[in-house]
Protein backbone atom coordinates (compact mmCIF):
# COMPACT_ATOMS: atom_id res chain seq x y z
CA UNK A 1 0.00 0.00 0.00
CA UNK A 2 1.34 3.43 -0.89
CA UNK A 3 0.94 6.46 1.27
CA UNK A 4 -0.29 9.77 -0.08
CA UNK A 5 2.31 12.40 0.58
CA UNK A 6 1.14 15.80 1.69
CA UNK A 7 2.95 18.82 0.34
CA UNK A 8 5.23 20.47 2.84
CA UNK A 9 5.19 23.79 1.00
CA UNK A 10 4.79 26.94 2.97
CA UNK A 11 2.15 29.52 2.14
CA UNK A 12 4.82 31.70 0.54
CA UNK A 13 5.47 28.97 -2.04
CA UNK A 14 1.87 28.89 -3.27
CA UNK A 15 0.54 31.21 -5.91
CA UNK A 16 -0.86 34.42 -4.52
CA UNK A 17 -3.88 36.19 -5.88
CA UNK A 18 -3.14 38.75 -8.59
CA UNK A 19 -6.12 40.83 -7.45
CA UNK A 20 -4.94 44.14 -5.95
CA UNK A 21 -6.36 45.43 -2.70
CA UNK A 22 -9.53 47.47 -3.36
CA UNK A 23 -8.80 51.15 -3.88
CA UNK A 24 -10.31 53.87 -6.02
CA UNK A 25 -6.98 54.13 -7.86
CA UNK A 26 -6.00 50.43 -7.82
CA UNK A 27 -3.79 49.39 -10.72
CA UNK A 28 -4.50 46.13 -12.54
CA UNK A 29 -1.65 43.61 -12.40
CA UNK A 30 -1.62 43.27 -16.19
CA UNK A 31 -1.61 40.29 -18.48
CA UNK A 32 0.01 37.13 -17.14
CA UNK A 33 1.96 35.01 -19.61
CA UNK A 34 3.19 32.65 -16.91
CA UNK A 35 2.76 28.94 -17.59
CA UNK A 36 1.03 27.20 -14.68
CA UNK A 37 -1.46 24.46 -13.94
CA UNK A 38 -4.79 26.19 -14.41
CA UNK A 39 -6.88 25.77 -11.24
CA UNK A 40 -10.03 26.65 -13.20
CA UNK A 41 -10.90 27.79 -16.70
CA UNK A 42 -13.89 28.35 -18.93
CA UNK A 43 -14.40 26.56 -22.25
CA UNK A 44 -16.61 28.51 -24.66
CA UNK A 45 -17.85 26.85 -27.86
CA UNK A 46 -17.89 29.13 -30.89
CA UNK A 47 -18.74 28.70 -34.56
CA UNK A 48 -16.25 31.46 -35.46
CA UNK A 49 -12.93 31.29 -33.60
CA UNK A 50 -11.57 34.43 -35.28
CA UNK A 51 -14.59 36.62 -34.50
CA UNK A 52 -14.83 35.34 -30.93
CA UNK A 53 -11.11 35.87 -30.36
CA UNK A 54 -11.43 39.42 -31.68
CA UNK A 55 -14.26 40.26 -29.25
CA UNK A 56 -12.55 38.73 -26.21
CA UNK A 57 -9.25 40.48 -27.05
CA UNK A 58 -10.43 43.92 -28.21
CA UNK A 59 -13.56 44.12 -26.05
CA UNK A 60 -12.82 42.21 -22.87
CA UNK A 61 -9.07 42.84 -22.69
CA UNK A 62 -7.76 39.29 -22.95
CA UNK A 63 -4.70 38.26 -24.96
CA UNK A 64 -4.27 35.22 -27.14
CA UNK A 65 -1.83 33.12 -25.15
CA UNK A 66 -1.65 30.48 -27.88
CA UNK A 67 -3.80 28.86 -30.55
CA UNK A 68 -4.05 25.53 -32.28
CA UNK A 69 -5.42 26.43 -35.73
CA UNK A 70 -9.00 25.26 -36.00
CA UNK A 71 -8.75 23.65 -32.57
CA UNK A 72 -8.55 25.94 -29.55
CA UNK A 73 -7.63 29.50 -28.67
CA UNK A 74 -6.28 29.96 -25.16
CA UNK A 75 -7.06 33.46 -23.87
CA UNK A 76 -5.87 35.04 -20.68
CA UNK A 77 -6.17 38.26 -18.74
CA UNK A 78 -4.71 38.30 -15.25
CA UNK A 79 -3.18 35.16 -13.75
CA UNK A 80 -5.86 32.49 -13.26
CA UNK A 81 -8.28 34.21 -15.67
CA UNK A 82 -8.14 31.66 -18.48
CA UNK A 83 -10.68 31.04 -21.24
CA UNK A 84 -10.50 28.42 -23.98
CA UNK A 85 -12.43 29.16 -27.15
CA UNK A 86 -13.22 25.83 -28.81
CA UNK A 87 -14.93 24.95 -32.09
CA UNK A 88 -18.61 24.19 -31.62
CA UNK A 89 -22.06 25.61 -31.70
CA UNK A 90 -22.75 28.24 -29.04
CA UNK A 91 -25.89 27.97 -26.96
CA UNK A 92 -29.12 28.94 -28.73
CA UNK A 93 -29.98 31.36 -25.93
CA UNK A 94 -27.83 33.41 -23.55
CA UNK A 95 -26.22 31.31 -20.85
CA UNK A 96 -27.89 31.41 -17.45
CA UNK A 97 -24.47 30.64 -15.96
CA UNK A 98 -22.10 33.56 -15.52
CA UNK A 99 -18.36 33.65 -15.23
CA UNK A 100 -16.92 36.40 -13.08
CA UNK A 101 -13.53 38.04 -13.48
CA UNK A 102 -12.00 40.42 -10.98
CA UNK A 103 -10.93 43.80 -12.25
CA UNK A 104 -10.20 47.21 -10.77
CA UNK A 105 -12.61 50.13 -10.73
CA UNK A 106 -10.78 51.96 -13.52
CA UNK A 107 -11.37 49.06 -15.93
CA UNK A 108 -15.18 48.95 -15.74
CA UNK A 109 -16.09 51.92 -17.97
CA UNK A 110 -13.39 51.33 -20.63
CA UNK A 111 -14.42 47.66 -20.89
CA UNK A 112 -18.07 48.66 -21.29
CA UNK A 113 -17.17 51.24 -23.94
CA UNK A 114 -14.99 48.81 -25.96
CA UNK A 115 -17.62 46.08 -25.87
CA UNK A 116 -20.43 48.46 -26.85
CA UNK A 117 -18.41 49.68 -29.85
CA UNK A 118 -17.94 46.07 -31.01
CA UNK A 119 -21.46 44.80 -30.23
CA UNK A 120 -23.96 47.54 -29.33
CA UNK A 121 -26.33 46.49 -26.56
CA UNK A 122 -24.12 43.67 -25.25
CA UNK A 123 -23.54 45.17 -21.79
CA UNK A 124 -25.62 45.82 -18.73
CA UNK A 125 -24.39 48.00 -15.93
CA UNK A 126 -22.21 48.98 -14.39
CA UNK A 127 -24.27 48.30 -11.31
CA UNK A 128 -23.45 48.94 -7.64
CA UNK A 129 -23.83 45.69 -5.73
CA UNK A 130 -24.65 45.27 -2.02
CA UNK A 131 -21.40 43.31 -1.51
CA UNK A 132 -19.28 46.46 -1.89
CA UNK A 133 -18.41 46.21 -5.56
CA UNK A 134 -19.49 47.40 -8.97
CA UNK A 135 -20.29 44.89 -11.71
CA UNK A 136 -20.46 45.04 -15.48
CA UNK A 137 -22.15 42.17 -17.32
CA UNK A 138 -21.26 41.46 -20.96
CA UNK A 139 -23.03 39.04 -23.30
CA UNK A 140 -20.36 37.75 -25.68
CA UNK A 141 -21.02 36.75 -29.30
CA UNK A 142 -21.16 33.12 -28.08
CA UNK A 143 -23.97 34.12 -25.67
CA UNK A 144 -21.73 33.64 -22.63
CA UNK A 145 -22.42 36.03 -19.76
CA UNK A 146 -19.19 37.51 -18.44
CA UNK A 147 -19.20 39.63 -15.29
CA UNK A 148 -16.37 42.03 -14.47
CA UNK A 149 -16.43 42.85 -10.78
CA UNK A 150 -14.41 45.56 -9.05
CA UNK A 151 -14.36 45.95 -5.28
CA UNK A 152 -14.65 49.31 -3.58
CA UNK A 153 -12.28 50.04 -0.71
CA UNK A 154 -13.80 48.88 2.57
CA UNK A 155 -14.36 51.66 5.07
CA UNK A 156 -13.39 50.19 8.48
CA UNK A 157 -16.18 52.28 10.09
CA UNK A 158 -18.91 51.00 7.75
CA UNK A 159 -21.74 48.60 8.62
CA UNK A 160 -20.26 46.17 6.07
CA UNK A 161 -16.94 46.14 7.96
CA UNK A 162 -18.78 45.64 11.27
CA UNK A 163 -20.65 42.70 9.78
CA UNK A 164 -17.42 41.13 8.51
CA UNK A 165 -15.71 41.58 11.88
CA UNK A 166 -18.75 40.05 13.63
CA UNK A 167 -18.50 37.12 11.19
CA UNK A 168 -14.94 36.40 12.26
CA UNK A 169 -12.92 38.26 9.66
CA UNK A 170 -9.77 39.98 10.85
CA UNK A 171 -10.32 43.61 9.93
CA UNK A 172 -8.83 46.71 11.52
CA UNK A 173 -11.02 48.57 13.96
CA UNK A 174 -12.16 52.08 12.94
pLDDT in tens, 33-79: 888 788 888 899 999 999 999 999 999 999 999 999 888 999 999 88
Residue 98 above 60 pLDDT?
yes
What structural domains does the chain harbor?
20-30+39-165 (3.10.180.10)
CB 91 within 8 A of CB 118: no
Residue 96 above 70 pLDDT?
yes
pLDDT at 82: 92
Q: What is the pTM of this model?
A: 0.81
Where does the pLDDT of residue 159 fall: very low under 50, low under 70, confident under 90, or very high at 90 and above? confident
Residue 1 above 70 pLDDT?
no
Taking CA atoms, 122 is separated from 93, 94, 142, 146, in Å, by: 14, 11, 11, 10
pLDDT in tens, 107-131: 999 999 999 999 999 999 999 987 8
pLDDT at 101: 95
Q: Using CB atoms within 10 A of its CB, is residue 132 exposed (0-12), middle (13-18) or buried (19+)?
A: middle
Of 79-93, 96-110, 157-171, which has the strongest mean pLDDT? 96-110
pLDDT at 15: 54
pLDDT in tens, 3-39: 555 545 454 555 567 788 887 888 888 888 888 788 8
Q: Which residue has the higher pLDDT, 174 or 55?
A: 55
Residue 137 above 90 pLDDT?
yes
CB 39 within 8 A of CB 81: no
Amino acid sequence: MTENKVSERTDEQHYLSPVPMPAEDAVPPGISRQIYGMPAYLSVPTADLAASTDFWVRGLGFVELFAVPGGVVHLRRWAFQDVLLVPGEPAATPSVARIGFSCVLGEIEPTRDRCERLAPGCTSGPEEMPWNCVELTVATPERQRVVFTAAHPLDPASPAADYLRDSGFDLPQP
